[in-house]
Every structure is written in C-alpha cells, then in structure tokens.
C-alpha cells in the first residue's frame, strides 16, 4: 500500500546553487519557527566548518508539513568530494528536487547527483533557482537540463519532469519565470503531485536500513534511515545484520521522528517514514535492523571507490606534544577508524609502521575536512602529500583517475589557463565564449595534475577564475607531470626567527614565517625562487660591535610573509615533505630533518636511477 500522508525527497545540486537556502525558506513557510524567533541563514549548515566555508559537508534530515502531508527533506552536499553522502541518501527517498542555477545551468556535480538519482529510479522536480539574477536565462537552462536527462539515459517518465522557478532567498516560486508567487506554494504542490508516496508493507516484519549516524553525549550513537517495512516500537527485540550477513541481537532504547530541525520521541513508527534510533551502539552504515523473528537483510550501501590517498602519522618533530591533547598512535588510529563508521566513502588501512595509517578519500577537500575536524578536536599528527590511487585492468595496463574539469575565466586569462592545463596533461574537450565575454572550457585532466593546482589557478587568474571538477573515469596513465615548479627554503638550525636573519635571505624567495616565531632544523620556512631546495639561517642574529652605525642603516624593511591556510599547506608540499598539524596551527617540514640525512637519501636515489 502507499502512505499518502508522507513524501520523502532529497535536494540535490551543484555546489552553491542554493540547496540549503531553499530548505531555509521551506522551513520558514511551514511555520517551524516562532514569528519572533531569530533564525540564522543556512540554518541546516550546523557544522562550524560548513558555516565558515559556506558549503554543505554532511547530509541532514528535516521535515515540514504541508496541508496534512509530512515532507521529509534530506539536504545533501554539492561538492564532488562529498558525493558519498549523496549516494547513500538515495536509498532513503522516493524522489529528488534538482536545483539548477538560472545563469550557470547544469554543472559537473549536477551530472553526478542526477545520474545517481536516475539510477535509483527516482523522479525529479527541476528547480531553476536564482531566477532574479540579471543574467538569468531560464529557457536555455531548462533545455540544457532536458539534454542532460537524455544523455544520462533517463526513462520517458523521468524525462517528463516538472519545472519550478524560484528565488530561494526571498522564498518565492512559480511554474513560469515571468511572475513569481510571494510564497513557495507552487513548489510544495509539485512535491505532493509529482513525488510518489512511499510504497510500503505496513504489516510485514520490520526492516530498517542504517544510512547516516551521529553521536549524542547522553543518548549515545543515533542512527538515521528509512523504515522500509513493518512497525517499530520502543524496546522491541530486533536483530542487527552486518555486511557479511552475521546477525546480532539488538534493542531500541529510543525512537525519533523528524519535525523541523528537531528529533521528537515516538513510541511507535510505521513503514515509509525516515526515523532515527538510539540504543544500538554497534550499528554501522549499510547494515539492516530487522525483526528478531523474521530477520531479512536489505541490500547494503555501496559507493564509488576513493581516488586519492595520503598518510596520517604520529607527529615526531622536535615540537611534538607541545600543543595537542591526543598525540599517540592508539588515539589516532581509534579516531580514523571511527570516521569510517560515519563516512562510507573513506577508507583507512594500517601500514607496516604502527605509527602511520593510509587514508583514502574522494579528493583533497574530502581529506582536508577530516584533517581540520581532527585538529579542532585536539589531535596532533602529520600528513603526507596526497597521491592518486592507480588501478590495473585485466591486461595489466596501469590506469589512473581522470577528472572532468569545467573552467570559466575572463578573456584576458585564456592563454595562461591553456598553458597551465597543458603542462598537466589536460585534454580540451570543449570551449565557447559566453554572452558576457567570459570563456568556458571543458577539459579532461589526470587527477595527478589537479593536485595542488587550485591555488596556482586562482593566483594566475587574479582570483577571478571559477573551476569545478568531477571524477570522469579511469584511463591509461598519461605522461609525466611536474606540478612542483619551486623548491623550498629550509631552516638550517633551531631557534627563533629574527628580523636580521630574514632580511639577509629575503631576496631568495617568499617566506611563511615571521620574526619571533619558533622554527626547527628541517622545517620549511618559505618558497625558493628556483626549482631546488635551499637551506637558510633565519635565526641569525646581528652581532654587537663597538662600531656605531649611521641611523639609516638600522631600518630594516621586510616583505610580507605569505600566510598559508591548511588546504594551501597540503597543496604546497612535495613528495619529501609533511604537514605537521596541531590544534594551534600547522607547519611544513621535511620528512628527513637533518641535512646530512637528506644528502645521503639523494645520493641513494641518484645511484638507483643511474
């Protein structure tokens, strides 16, 4: 039977097309908040890093009511690196709202999320958002979106999508771009009419699939998912079925249903609803919670394989243990494996060293967010340069991940973009000039070539370029890519940076340190102007003499130091360097701190090549 009182939808889109803003408007117009209640913008982005970066990282569930129908809404990330969140959410819902920018049209991540929705058999409502922008072109965007549906193999039923035009910031919507209603009523009506009600077996044995998990200090682990069949009651004896099919007894201590931003206690829930459970602390994503008398497993959640990996190790620098709370390999290992329970797109492996772990993810940002979260939680560790994961086909040919890259730059920067991507084995697939004079490129580039590329691209285009990328396919390995064009300036001794020391060597490159900062031998203190490393003494002090200098000689003017963000530091490092991450900041260092050790290692490499 169908539960006509419920609709389950996911909101999917490319990054920055307005998903979370639209959810804000839907919540406000459903009277979830009091009239005098102060509500922050992008209220669903509750994570501190999400609010700082202005992106959604974790998928979140909320619910609103419209004319007696409960609409469960799952807000999903728009960035390609968090595609694993989108993939697993598709199991919970019966349809999607596909948001498309009224100017940009379908972008790389639009293609990825729509493909996942169509593969799951879902119908979509296309929402053309930001219709108020001066350069909006709704008719072109609708046609481009239809072409995308056809290219992705949508069925006739899926291709006949409803189209709604919105200004999510003001909460206005309409079926025509010419005149918007002063509410989202046309959107709510389309959800009720076009998204199918969940088809459920209300009287069969219970089946619940764990899709996301979170932790509460008082309730313990809380898992969220959809109840596919039957009824669940508080205290009911159940069975947890893991990915291997093994069964373990389980019991629910608390049941929750969603209403607005809150979870509310429930004594009993019926099939078709998105719910949360507490009391099953060992339940992991992709596992089934089933009736104890008739346990039947649901298909587990599978996501695409990681494409990038890096090592996480215990910090062994001279400053180790000064700033972190959790510094041991046991704590580091425990935290990394705990993350895999929440993030199915992340993989962690032990290595031959007990102090080093291999962590694989979907991209630099995916791993960078994990590093930032752990740093804020008090962990101290060191990470290596990200590297791509190679595969081999049945013929033994080595394959590497490729990415589809879309770039939009001003006409002044065409040449520099083509040159940069040419050096990174990029292959141009399309190019056209837009009405405003900007140039739109489509490239297929090895993931190797994009590691550390974003900062260089933004510098080359004076911060005006827009770059989006999406995993494309595994293809035979391209030629050699030399993405590191400058060497590092390395501290030759331990101590405090002096103004005099920096002044003596500032013509050698750009510095990352400032006077008074502590450094140690082997720490990277700047970027050399040449393509080789150079050891410098930035702690050198001016010796006092009995000879008086003239007054003008005492004035020292230093160039401003370059401030690296954590993402910049991870992008910058070379194969023989690490980023030391602590709760108070980060430092770049050589893997081998002693200059003698580095020279011996270089001789070994040269002999091996000879």
Domain with 280 in it: what CATH number?
Answer: 2.40.30.10
Take residue 271 and report the two structure tokens written for it.
């099939």
Strand partners for 9: 73, 95
User: Could you tell me if residue 122 is left (phi over 0), alpha (psi between -120 and 50 degrees) or otherwise beta?
Assistant: beta
Helix or strand run (H / E) with residue 21: helix 19-29
Contact 15, 108 (CB under 8 A): no
Give the chain's mean pLDDT.
86
Last residue of a domain, one of 291, 315, 343: 291
Q: Which domain holds residue 285?
A: 207-291
Residues in the chain: 610
Give residue 29's pLDDT.
Answer: 81
Contact 566, 581 (CB under 8 A): yes
Looking at the domain assignment, is residue 571 inside a domain? yes
Q: pLDDT tens, 358-407?
A: 999 988 888 999 999 999 999 999 999 999 999 888 888 899 999 888 88
Give residue 579's pLDDT.
Answer: 95
Residues 495 and 471 in one domain: no
CATH of the domain at 447: 3.30.70.240
| Average pLDDT of the residues in 466-472 | 83
Take residue 124 and report the two structure tokens written for it.
């979509």
Give residue 52's pLDDT.
Answer: 67
Q: Is residue 537 scored above 80 in pLDDT?
A: yes
Using CB atoms within 10 A of its CB, is residue 31 exposed (0-12), middle (13-18) or buried (19+)?
Answer: exposed
Take residue 569 and report the two structure tokens written for it.
């530091």
Last residue of a domain, one of 194, 219, 248: 194
CA-based R_g, the chain, Å: 27
Q: Is residue 46 scored above 70 in pLDDT?
A: no
Cite the DSSP H helix spans in 378-452. Answer: 414-423, 447-450
Q: Which residues are annotated as a binding site?
A: 16-21, 129-132
Q: Is residue 99 scored above 70 in pLDDT?
A: yes
Give residue 553's pLDDT.
Answer: 45
Strand partners for 388: 308
How much of the chain, in percent, has pLDDT values that exceed 90?
33
Nearest partner of 10 among 265, 288, 182, 212, judged by Cα: 212
DSSP-derived letter for residue 134 is: T
CATH of the domain at 90: 3.40.50.300
Take residue 546 and report the two structure tokens written for it.
């009995």
Give the integer Cα–Cα distance in Å for 473 and 451: 17
Residues 103 and 141 in one domain: yes
Q: What is the number of domains present in the chain? A: 4
Strand partners for 392: 398
CA-CA-CA-CA torsion sign (12, 14, 15, 19):
negative
Q: How many CA atoms lie within 13 A of 293 on its CB side?
A: 5
Strand partners for 589: 523, 578
The residue among 197 and 50 whose pLDDT is bigger is 197
Q: Is residue 42 scored above 60 in pLDDT?
A: no
Looking at the domain assignment, is residue 120 inside a domain? yes
Give residue 37's pLDDT.
Answer: 53
Q: Is residue 547 scored above 70 in pLDDT?
A: no
- Mean pLDDT is highest, among 21-35, 74-88, 293-307, 363-377, for 363-377
Residues 470 and 500 in one domain: no
Last residue of a domain, one of 456, 476, 496: 476
Q: Which residues are annotated as a binding site for GTP?
A: 16-21, 129-132
Give residue 440's pLDDT.
Answer: 87
| Average pLDDT of the residues in 429-437 | 83
Backbone angles phi, psi at 342, to 5 degrees: -95, -35
The residue behind tokens 């219709």 is: 131
């Amino acid at each position: 039977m169908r539960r006509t009182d419920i609709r389950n939808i996911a909101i999917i889109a490319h990054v920055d097309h307005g998903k979370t803003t639209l959810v804000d408007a839907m919540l406000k117009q459903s009277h979830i908040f009091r009239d005098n209640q102060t509500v922050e913008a992008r209220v669903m982005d509750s994570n501190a890093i999400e609010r700082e970066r202005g992106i959604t990282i974790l998928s979140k569930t909320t619910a609103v009511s419209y004319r007696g129908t409960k609409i469960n809404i799952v807000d999903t990330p728009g960035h390609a690196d968090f595609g694993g969140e989108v993939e697993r959410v598709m199991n919970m819902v019966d349809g999607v709202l596909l948001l498309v920018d009224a100017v940009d049209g379908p972008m790389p991540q639009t293609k990825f999320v729509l493909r996942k929705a169509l593969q799951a058999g879902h119908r979509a409502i296309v929402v053309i958002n930001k219709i108020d922008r001066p350069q909006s072109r709704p008719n072109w965007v609708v046609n481009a979106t239809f072409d995308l549906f056809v290219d992705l193999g949508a069925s006739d039923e899926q291709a006949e999508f409803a189209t709604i035009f919105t200004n999510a910031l003001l909460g206005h919507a309409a079926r025509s771009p010419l005149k918007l209603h002063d509410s989202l009523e046309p959107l709510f009506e389309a959800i009720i009419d076009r998204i199918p009600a969940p088809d459920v077996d209300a009287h069969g044995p219970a089946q619940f699939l764990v899709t996301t998990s979170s932790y509460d200090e008082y309730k313990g682990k809380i898992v969220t998912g959809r109840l596919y069949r039957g009824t669940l009651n508080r205290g009911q004896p159940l069975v947890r079925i893991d990915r291997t099919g093994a069964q373990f007894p389980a019991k629910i201590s608390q049941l929750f249903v969603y209403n607005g931003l809150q979870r509310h206690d429930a004594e009993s829930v019926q099939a078709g609803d998105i719910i949360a459970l507490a009391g099953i602390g060992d339940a992991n994503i992709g596992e089934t919670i089933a009736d104890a008398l008739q346990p039947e497993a649901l298909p587990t959640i599978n996501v695409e394989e990681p494409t990038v990996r890096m090592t996480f190790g215990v910090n062994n620098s001279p400053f180790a243990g000064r700033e972190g709370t959790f510094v041991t390999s046991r704590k580091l290992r425990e935290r990394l494996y705990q993350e895999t329970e929440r993030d199915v797109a992340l993989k962690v492996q032990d290595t031959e060293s007990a102090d080093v772990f291999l962590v694989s993810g979907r991209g630099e940002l995916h791993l960078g967010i994990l590093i930032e979260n752990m740093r804020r939680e008090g962990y101290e560790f060191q990470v290596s340069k990200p590297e791509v994961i190679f595969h081999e086909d049945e013929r033994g040919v080595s394959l590497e991940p490729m990415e589809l890259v879309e770039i939009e730059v001003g006409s002044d920067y065409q040449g520099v973009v083509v040159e940069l991507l040419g050096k990174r084995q990029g292959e141009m697939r399309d190019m056209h000039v837009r009405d405003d004079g900007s140039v739109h490129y489509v490239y297929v580039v090895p993931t190797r070539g994009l590691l550390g590329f974003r900062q260089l691209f933004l510098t080359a285009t004076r911060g005006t370029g827009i770059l989006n990328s999406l995993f494309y396919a595994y293809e035979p390995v391209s030629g050699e890519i030399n993405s590191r064009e400058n060497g590092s300036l390395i501290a030759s001794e331990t101590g405090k940076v002096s103004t005099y020391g920096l002044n003596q060597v500032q013509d050698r490159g750009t510095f990352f340190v400032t006077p008074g900062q502590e450094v140690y031998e082997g720490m990277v203190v700047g970027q050399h102007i040449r393509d080789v490393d150079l050891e410098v003494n930035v702690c050198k002090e001016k010796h006092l003499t009995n000879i008086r200098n003239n007054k003008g000689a005492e004035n020292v003017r230093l160039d401003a130091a370059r401030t690296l963000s954590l993402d910049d530091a991870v992008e910058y490092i070379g194969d023989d360097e690490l980023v030391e991450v602590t709760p108070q900041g980060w430092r770049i260092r050589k893997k081998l701190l002693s200059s003698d050790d580095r020279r011996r290692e270089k001789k070994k490499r040269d002999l091996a090549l000879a």
